[in-house]
Amino acid sequence: MRPDGRVTGGRVTSGDAELSVVRNGHIVDPASGRDEIGDLWFRDGRIIDRPSDDEAKGASVVDAAGRLVLPGLVDMHTHLCEPGYEYRETLESGAAAAAAGGVTGVACMPDTEPDLDDAPAVRFVRERAAGVPVHVYPIAAVTAGRAGERLTEIGELADAGAVALSDAERTVRNPAILRRALEYARMFDLPIIAHCEDPSLSAGGLMHEGSHATRLGLKGIPSIAEETIAARDIMLAEWTGGRLHLTHVSTAVTVGLVRSAKQRGVRVTADVSPPHLVLTDEALSSYDTHLKVNPPLRTRADVEALREGLADGTIDAVASDHTPRSVDEKNTEFQEALPGAAGLETMLSVVYTELIAPGLLTWNDAVRRMSTAPSGILGTEGGSLASGSPADFILFHPDGTWTVDPASFRSRSGNTPFAGRVLKGGVTMTVVAGRVVYRCDDPESS
Ligand SMILES: [Zn+2]
């Protein structure tokens, strides 16, 4: 159904303040406890309670029969590549990709050129993003130039609108610096988002270290490269009382570390990306560079542990780690290809096809992991359809199927590990602050 979609940019209603209603959809909103066929009313960019019968008569109506009505997804980990890498993605193309994927809020990593490591850079992204169709939340760097040596001005970054701090795909190697970052960030209630990878253990690695790497003759990245840093970072969070978020966790041991830390009351949260919930290192036999991601695809046992952790709430969120790469950066030898996968436009259908439809995750839990929880961790509005919340929501058609075709992506980059895969269900409408930012009028159904 995706190729038929188009961005309308129009409003559901003709006037800003006009009353609108989404009728007869299956509303799933854990924040307000709704899981029922019903109506969703909104006006002036906000969800409202049902108005009086008299007033309701004049409302503009969207028919949602047969559709799920969900709070817009909030994606905690994306690379929108602007400024500096506009050949891969821009704030505009990334936002269009988000809207097509049902994502109404995206947090973007600071690994731009220049890095988002000072207040003017954060303000630049916020100002540029004011004109795009979804909410964009900048994540600022923990250290200047993400070089791991000198802390950024965390207070100024918070004032400028940073929602979290991270050195993106670089681990803060010096524990004394991470300790101070956790202490300062705590004063502003900002989470530190950690990519856990000890570079001395992963150096030169191309895929998960295991029997498949041995067979393929590719140098491996051992699980322990992630786990030692996850353990260290959790201990520092426990020691400082700061907020730590482990992003794209990939191993069973890391899931266990997060689970036991939560039981001790450590302020730690975690996310997982869809490729790690679905694919394993065995698939690398094809040497397909689109399967090269960081952290690498792990084993079947790791996938099972990640799914279990997601289902029981140990893992709080699903985040795409949307990492656009150009054709040249992927169509090269496996050793040379850059890691990363574009993920915004496939995230929800992958989770639906692989986890919800088979009964491993309920819709209620999926909405928690993809909207309510990430919104709460980042401290943004959204993640709720309660009265007074922003009118950020999506309509999802659960019955159709579509084949992933990178040529139809809104993203500037088509580097998906899911190309050619048949997925179930698709987003038919995305609404941000009461505005329709994506609509797929003619969903194919099979
Ligand atoms: Zn990333």
Distance (angstroms) between ligand 1 centre and the Cα of 319 equals 10
Question: What's the structural domain count of the chain?
Answer: 2
Two tokens at 121?
């850079």
Say yes or no: 216 and 198 in one domain. yes
Residue 308's pLDDT is 98
Å from CA of 22 to ligand 1 middle? 35
Q: Which amino acid is at 6?
A: R
Domain end, chosen from 331, 346, 378, is at 378
* Cα 89 to ligand 1 centroid, rounded to whole Å: 14
Same domain, 176 and 146: yes
Residue 433 lies in a domain: yes
- What is the phi/psi pair of residue 352, to 5°? -65, -50
Domain of 433? 2-69+388-439
pLDDT given at position 443: 53
- Is 367 found in the same domain as 319? yes
CA of 249 to the centre of ligand 1 (A): 11
**Coil, helix or strand for 104?**
strand
Same domain, 370 and 402: no
| Average pLDDT, consecutive stretches of 10 residues, N- to C-terminus, the chain (446 residues) | 40 62 98 97 97 94 97 98 96 98 98 97 97 97 98 98 98 98 98 98 98 97 98 98 98 98 98 98 96 98 98 98 97 96 98 98 98 98 96 96 96 96 97 96 52
* Shared-domain flag, residues 108 and 12: no
Do 396 and 372 fall into the same domain?
no
Catalytic amino acids? Answer: 321
CA of 262 to the centre of ligand 1 (A): 24
**Beta bridge partners of residue 99, listed in sequence order:** none
Within this chain, do residues 148 and 47 fall inside the same structural domain, yes or no? Answer: no
Residue 47: predicted pLDDT: 98
- Write the single-letter amino acid at 252: A
Does the bond joining 295 to the residue before it have cis omega, within 30 degrees of 0?
Answer: yes
- Whole-number Å distance, alpha carbon 361 to ligand 1 midpoint, is 25
DSSP letter (8 states) at residue 182: H
- Token pair, residue 272, equals 């997982």
Cβ burial 79-115 (10 Å sphere, 16+ → b, else e): bbbbbebbebbbbbbbbbbbbbbbbbbbbbbbbbeeb
Model pLDDT, residue 9: 41
Q: What integer pLDDT is reported at residue 7 of this predicted model?
A: 39
Global pTM value = 0.95
DSSP β-bridge partners for residue 165:
140, 192
Distance CA 6, CA 133 (A): 13
Q: What's the CA-to-centroid distance between 65 and ligand 1, angstroms? A: 37
Quick check: is 446 in a domain?
Answer: no
How far does residue 39's CA lie from ligand 1's centre (Å)? 37
Q: In angstroms, what is the span from residue 322 Cα to ligand 1's centroid?
A: 7
Interval between CA 252 and ligand 1 midpoint (Å): 20
CB within 8 Å of 408: residues ≥ 6 apart? 2, 3
153 CA distance to ligand 1 centroid (A)?
22
> Residue 408's closest CA among 193, 97, 173, 57?
97
Same domain, 372 and 402: no
pLDDT in the model for residue 442: 56
Whether 328 and 400 map to the same domain: the answer is: no
Cα angle value 104/110/113 (rounded, 5°):
120
CATH of the domain at 417: 2.30.40.10
Q: Are residues 151 and 280 in the same domain?
A: yes
Tell me if the bond preceding 274 is cis, omega within 30° of 0. no
Residue 167 Cα to ligand 1 midpoint, Å, equals 10
> How many Cα atoms within 13 Å fall on the side-chain side of residue 301?
7
SS3 at position 15: coil
Query: Which string of DSSP letters, residue by residue, matches 143-173?
Result: BGGG-SSSB--HHHHHHHT--EE--TTS---
| Alpha carbons 55 and 211: distance in angstroms, whole number | 66
Please indicate, yes or no, if residue 105 is contained in any of the structural domains: yes
What is the CB neighbour count within 10 angstroms for residue 119?
19
The answer as to whether 383 is a domain residue is no
Dihedral angle over CA of 327, 328, 329, 331, nearest 10: 80
CATH of the domain at 118: 3.20.20.140
Asked if 333 and 226 sit in the same domain, the reply is yes
- Report phi then psi at 360, rounded to 5: -85, -20
Q: What is the dihedral of CA 62, 358, 275, 424, to 10 degrees?
A: -40
The verdict on 121 and 208 lying in the same domain is yes
Contacts for 412 with CB less than 8 Å, ≥ 6 apart: 87, 88, 89, 90, 93, 324
